[in-house]
A and B are shown apart, each in its own frame.
Chain A
Amino acid sequence: MSYVLRRLLMFPVVMLGVSVFVFVAIRLVPGDAITAMLGTESGLLTPAQRESLTAYFGLDQNWAVQYWRWLTGLLQGDLGLSVTYGQPVSRIIIDRFPLTLELALLSMVIALMIGLPAGVFAATRVERPSDLIVRVFAMIGQSTPNFVLALLAIYILSVVFGILPTMGRFVPLTEDPLGNLAQMILPAIALGTAFAAAVTRISRAAMLDILGEDYVRTARSKGFSQRYVIWRHALPNALIPVITLSGVEFGYLLGGAVIVEQIFALPGLGRVVLDAILQRDYALVQGVVLFIAFNFLLVNLLVDLAYAALDPRIRYGAS
């Protein structure tokens, strides 16, 4: 069986596994969904009221029935009703996903804009001081957790320089692009830094590998300029691992940035999922987590397929 076909067939199998895992996991979380919804006053509910609420949210059935209902609904595009929002889960995802997508894209743009030139630059100056400086920064960038970076950035900007980072009512891109950018830039930098560092390191390593290859050496010896060789021959080949890495990182970012979204008060998927887990909002956790996993798997699938297409030397299916 070809690699591509096998990957495509595996996709629904893994998705099914993910759906079972999420479904069971959220039900194992201690705490009652109805109490979570009503707070202390749920103590005042009569047994009859509690029962009718449980039935309304379909929580009175056994797990198998609940799962079957959810799965069949899912296949018809119905992700269920969120207990805390009183809205369809799909509606909440549609509301929140654009922000997460924008943040992920912005972080990736930052990462590639900084990481790629830095990596190529360092590779052409191996072992010189400039290479060393790039690598030190890349190492530090990769080792700084995004939430630490976010806090330090806020501290340095607001306390040391007196510049106010814009946090507040979220302004959608469609409403006010500049205002939106002002809000998104710091979180995107916080998320994009480690990403940029990873891009730097991998593009540098890939460039070095390629620059050592025979055909590049041949091109050089034929008298092509250094710059021409780098941009025409080496870079396109070095891009393959960079694309792979960016795909995986981007897939992760689509899962929402739980802590960074919280620190910058951004209403993205990460915050929804954290709140939903803490509030035992079964339908919401199931729907959002499944959506996140779906995106992640999809991005990975695309990256793998692109990889297979770009680099036929890689032989898959040996096992």
Chain B
Amino acid sequence: MTFSRPLASALALGLAAGIAAPAAAQTLNVAWSQDATGLDPHTQTAFASIRLLELLYEPLVRLGPNLEIQPAVAESWEFSEDATTLTFNLDPDATFHDGSPVTAADVKASFERILDEATGASARANYTSITAIETPDDQTVVFQLDGPNVPILNGMASINAAIVPASAIEAGTVGTEVMGSGPFTLDARTPNANASLTAFDGWHGGDIAYDGIEVSVLPDETAILASLRAGQADFALLSDPLVATLVPREDSLQLNTAPTLSYHVLQLNASRDPMGELAVRQAISCALDRQDILDAALLGEGEVTGPLTSPAYRNDPSTLFCYEQDQDRARELLAEAGYEDGFSATIMAANGEPPTAAAEAQLIQSQLAEVGIDLTIEMQEMNVYIDSWLAGDFDMAVALNGGRADPYTMYNRYWTEDGNLQGVANYIDDTLDNLMQEGRVETDEAVRKEIFAEFERHLAEMAPWVWLYTGYTYTAQREGVDGFEATPTGSLFGLVDVTLSE
């Protein structure tokens, strides 16, 4: 069962495609566990969809390995002095997969589609401050904003703001036919099974050193590990630290870890008693040993974090409220709130999403039991969990929530008065709302940092949620696969720089 794989499968691929396989055809075999749920870049939100679409489509700008803004369809950009106008100059070499150039008209049509409520674009809220889109010439796009808005540039560095051809929008084929300007074209795809990508010759970002990518969707991470070991996969994405830490046991495999923006969190529902009591929430925060949960559930693979997870804004969490476990203090706080004998509540977690959820729930249950809080675990299927989560129908929830490079885009949905996920956050006060609004309009980086540091301190002290830690994203590769650079967003865009030897 240990045949030499890469050659055989490259051959097989050639046969399947009905072409005589040239000896030098180099295919990168990639495995991941969750498939894209759809192909419309504007409406897809699942991480699994985004990482595939990032190889096919391009936004105006994208985030680099250190979350710095990099050119994509646009080669340069500029805010006006008062940050109310944002101008992009498009890359004249950028073309769609059919060879037609990417023009200002395509950008305008794409944003109009995103802003059209009927589209159901997932990131629409990030762009509603756009009041007009002007196209003085084919290479220039000017966005007029309703006020100063610096985070909008970060918000545009998302595949949810991908540029699609105006003609495809008109024909209504966005989402059914892939026509992007990204580094790969999509040749074939069987949902939940596989996808074939071919490197796009005309990509304006440069040449890709191999011919294409063959993706297999293997729902089980141990199977991904097995396929790496057997040489069936050259490159894989892993999310379960229990599996990822086994990768280096094989000499021919290399594990890449990158810190993520997404954070593991214990969400408390402050609209329900007794979590409505500040002292009770604080007691829960004090009762938990974050490092210990991290050590057991993720085998220590991660870092304890406060609410801010983006490297540019991240602070030393040890200065935050009760980040050192202090069970005596927890008991005092409980007594203060009138719960000296503790209380009972339920804690919900999703089956397998993240893979560590069940373990986290059990560790939290065990640690809170020590201060008299009696939790009942409710494991739910992902979509039942999401229903309850959206409706705010839970006492406590174990969650892995996605992060963004900018704290405002990351948290405005939860911690502002009219955030569209306020019903999930279930807590808001004036301080939080004010700090968020200040952060939105502030253009000075240093001042913004201080504003969000204050926001973080306040959030940790009010403890509507108990932030635990961030994990890593893992990619694994076989010997001979070089040049991939991981990013905190978990993007696989770095695959364009990969070289294959052998």
Direct contact of A and B (CB under 8 A): yes
- The answer to whether B122 touches A164, judged by C-beta atoms less than 8 angstroms apart, is no
Chain A, range 233-258, C-beta contacts under 8 Å to B: none
Q: Which of A69-77, A83-91, A202-210, A300-308 contacts B (4 or more CB under 8 A)?
A: A83-91
Known: A43-B420, A95-B190. A169 touches B223 (CB 8 A): no
Known: A31-B383, A168-B218, A175-B12. A85 touches B45 (CB 8 A): no
Known: A45-B120, A46-B117, A168-B224; 18 extra A-B contacts, CB below 8 A, are: A41-B122, A43-B420, A44-B124, A49-B120, A84-B191, A163-B1, A164-B1, A164-B2, A167-B223, A168-B31, A168-B216, A168-B226, A169-B227, A176-B9, A178-B3, A265-B219, A265-B227, A267-B190
- The answer to whether A48 touches B117, judged by C-beta atoms less than 8 angstroms apart, is yes
Q: Within the assembled complex, what's the spacing in Å between the Cα atoms of A48 and B38?
A: 21
Interface centre among A31, A95, A170, A278 (most CB of B within 10 A): A31
B93 within 8 A of A: no
Count class of interface residues, chain B: 35 or more
Q: Within the assembled complex, what's the spacing in Å between the Cα atoms of A45 and B390?
A: 12
Chain A, range 146-180, C-beta contacts under 8 Å to B: 154, 158, 163-171, 175-176, 178-179
Contact with B along A22-47 (1 / 0, CB 8 A): 00000000111001111111111110
- Nearest first, the 10 A-B pairs at minimum CB distance are A168-B227, A169-B216, A168-B232, A265-B223, A36-B383, A41-B45, A167-B223, A43-B390, A265-B218, A167-B226
B387 within 8 A of A: yes
Contact with A along B415-442 (1 / 0, CB 8 A): 0000011011000000000000000000
Give the residue name and chain of the B residue nearest to A32 (CB). B387
Chain A, range 1-58, C-beta contacts under 8 Å to B: 30-32, 35-46, 48-49, 52
Interface centre among B31, B226, B423 (most CB of A within 10 A): B226
- The answer to whether B233 touches A35, judged by C-beta atoms less than 8 angstroms apart, is no
- The answer to whether A169 touches B192, judged by C-beta atoms less than 8 angstroms apart, is no
- The answer to whether A31 touches B381, judged by C-beta atoms less than 8 angstroms apart, is yes
Residues of B in contact with A (beta carbons under 8 Å apart) = 1-3, 8-9, 12, 15-16, 29, 31, 37-38, 45-46, 117-118, 120, 122, 124-125, 190-194, 214, 216, 218-220, 223-224, 226-227, 229-230, 232-233, 381-384, 386-387, 389-390, 420-421, 423-424
Pick the contact of B230: A35, A87, A167, A262 (CB < 8 A). A167
Q: Which residues in B have their C-beta under 8 angstroms from that of A38?
A: 45
Q: Within the assembled complex, what's the spacing in Å between the Cα atoms of A280 and B381?
A: 11
- The answer to whether B386 touches A35, judged by C-beta atoms less than 8 angstroms apart, is yes
Q: Which residues in B have their C-beta under 8 angstroms from that of A40?
A: 45, 386, 389-390
Q: Which residues in B have their C-beta under 8 angstroms from that of A100?
A: none
- The answer to whether A85 touches B122, judged by C-beta atoms less than 8 angstroms apart, is no
A-B contact pairs, 30 of them (CB 8 A): A38-B45, A39-B37, A39-B382, A40-B390, A44-B124, A44-B420, A49-B117, A49-B118, A85-B192, A95-B190, A163-B1, A167-B220, A167-B230, A168-B31, A168-B224, A168-B226, A168-B233, A169-B194, A169-B233, A175-B12, A175-B15, A176-B8, A176-B9, A178-B3, A179-B12, A262-B219, A275-B192, A278-B381, A278-B382, A279-B383
Q: Which residues in A have their C-beta under 8 angstroms from that of B229?
A: 164
Give the residue name and chain of the A residue nearest to B352 (CB). A278
Q: Within the assembled complex, what's the spacing in Å between the Cα atoms of A273 and B489?
A: 32
Kindly provide the distance from the CB of A260 to the nearest chain B CB, expressed in whole angstroms: 12
Give the residue name and chain of the B residue nearest to A163 (CB). B1
